[in-house]
């Protein structure tokens, strides 16, 4: 009986583990194999062609840099915008809490592509929103918003904002408000109580939110395609065009690998500084 109990978890895990190994882990090895091939489609052959990697880095270094710049800025803006909203929902919303949470997840209920296309409408030259920006002088008289880096970043911010708000809200909501009251009883100003009690306690949410925003934003190509111009292409655009239209599989595979490696480095460095509890927090339970 005890023997049988010991194998139960492996049976339960079996199907999912096999699926993830076969269709997530193994394909990564296949992509690695493809990235070291040389030749053109039809006559690809494996040849330890590391040149694909050096070519990838030297040909597309601007797109790599731009991807990290755009997604880094978008993540920062998301954080600055998300925190006040998460704070309001957690501590001040009262009976409006559920309505506000609904507003946060509402964008998820419309298709990603369609809401990005809606931003194309909003930011187009004839739109009232852009007229308003021109009126207050944020955009020059004949200036555009669409097809600029700013529009791409704005799209990234919009599309990934809920991923920032929800984890921060979740961590703020768990804070015992008596701790904040205690700080104030001990003569901390509101500001000091926030900086030394609330903010540190919400750090796991901030870490989780920044990762959930930064990682998908770096690989995104939909926003750059619809809201940017040819000069705003991110690395995702390059990878998808190499795979789908130019059929240069080895180069595309090498680029994907470099992208994954770079993101992993950034994430690991970040976690080193911020602590890993946020990512693997459930482990302790």
Partner 1 sequence: MRRGRSGGAPRGAWRWLREHAVNIVAALVVVYMLIPIAVILVFSFNDPAGKYNFTWVGFTLSHWGNAFGIPELNSALLTSLKLALLATVVSTAIGTLMAIALVRHRFHGRRAANLLIVVPMATPEIVMGASLLSFFIILGTPGLGFQTLLIAHVMFCISFVVVVVRSRLIGFDRNLEEAAQDLGATPLETFRLVTLPLIMPGVFGGALLAFALSIDDFVISNFNSGTTVTFPLYVYGAAQRGIPVEVNVIAMILFGVTVLAMGATVWQQRRAEKMSEVRPDQEAMPPVAIGAAEAA
- Between residue 230 and residue 269, which ones bind partner 1 under the rule CB under 8 A? 236, 239-240, 243-244, 249, 252-253, 256, 259-260, 263, 267
Q: How far is the CB of 18 from partner 1 (least distance, A)?
A: 9
Within residues 117-136, the interface with partner 1 by CB under 8 A covers 117-122, 124, 126
Please name every residue paired with 37 in a beta bridge, in sequence order, or none if there are none.
46
Q: Which is nearer to partner 1, 164 or 183 (CB)?
A: 164
Q: How far is the CB of 256 from partner 1 (least distance, A)?
A: 4
Please name every residue paired with 45 in a beta bridge, in sequence order, or none if there are none.
38
- CA distance linking residue 237 with residue 62, whole number of Å: 12
- Convert 68-95 to b/e letters by CB count within 10 Å (16 or more is b): bebbbbbbebbbeebbebbbebbeeeee
Count residues near partner 1 (CB under 8 A): 82
> Of 92, 131, 181, 270, which one interacts with partner 1 (CB under 8 A)?
92
Instruction: Return the axis-axis angle of helices 112-123 and 128-135, rounded to nearest 10°.
Output: 50
Within residues 194-233, the interface with partner 1 by CB under 8 A covers 211, 215-216, 218-222, 226
Q: How far is the CB of 183 from partner 1 (least distance, A)?
A: 18
Q: How far is the CB of 105 from partner 1 (least distance, A)?
A: 8
- CA distance linking residue 147 with residue 165, whole number of Å: 27
Chain-centroid distance, C-alpha 225: 17
Q: How far is the CB of 137 from partner 1 (least distance, A)?
A: 19
- CA distance linking residue 257 with residue 251, whole number of Å: 10
88 touching partner 1, by CB under 8 A: yes
Contact present, 120 and 158 (Cβ < 8 Å): no
């Amino acid at each position: 009986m005890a023997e049988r109990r010991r194998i139960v978890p492996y049976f339960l895990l079996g199907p999912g583990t096999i699926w993830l190994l076969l269709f997530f882990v193994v394909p990564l090895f296949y992509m690695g194999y493809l990235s070291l091939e040389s030749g053109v489609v039809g006559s690809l052959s494996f040849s330890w062609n590391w040149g694909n990697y050096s070519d990838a880095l030297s040909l597309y270094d601007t797109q790599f840099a731009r991807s990290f710049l755009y997604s880094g800025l978008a993540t920062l803006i998301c954080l600055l915008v998300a925190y006040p909203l998460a704070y309001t929902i957690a501590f001040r919303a009262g009976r409006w809490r559920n309505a506000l949470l609904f507003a946060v997840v509402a964008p998820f209920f419309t298709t990603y592509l369609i809401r990005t296309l809606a931003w194309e409408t909003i930011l187009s030259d004839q739109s009232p929103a852009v007229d308003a920006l021109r009126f207050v002088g944020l955009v020059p008289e004949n200036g555009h918003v669409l097809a600029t880096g700013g529009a791409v970043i704005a799209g990234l911010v919009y599309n990934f904002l809920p991923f920032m708000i929800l984890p921060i809200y979740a961590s703020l909501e768990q804070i015992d408000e008596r701790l904040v009251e205690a700080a104030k009883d001990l003569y901390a100003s509101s500001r000091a109580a926030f900086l030394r009690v609330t903010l540190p306690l919400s750090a796991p949410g901030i870490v989780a939110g920044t990762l959930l925003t930064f990682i998908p934003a770096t690989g995104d190509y939909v926003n750059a395609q619809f809201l940017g111009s040819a000069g705003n292409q991110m690395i995702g655009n390059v990878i998808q065009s190499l795979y789908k239209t130019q059929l240069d599989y080895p180069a595309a595979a090498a680029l994907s690998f470099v992208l994954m490696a770079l993101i992993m480095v950034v994430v690991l460095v970040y976690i080193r500084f911020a602590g890993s509890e946020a990512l693997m927090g459930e482990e302790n339970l």
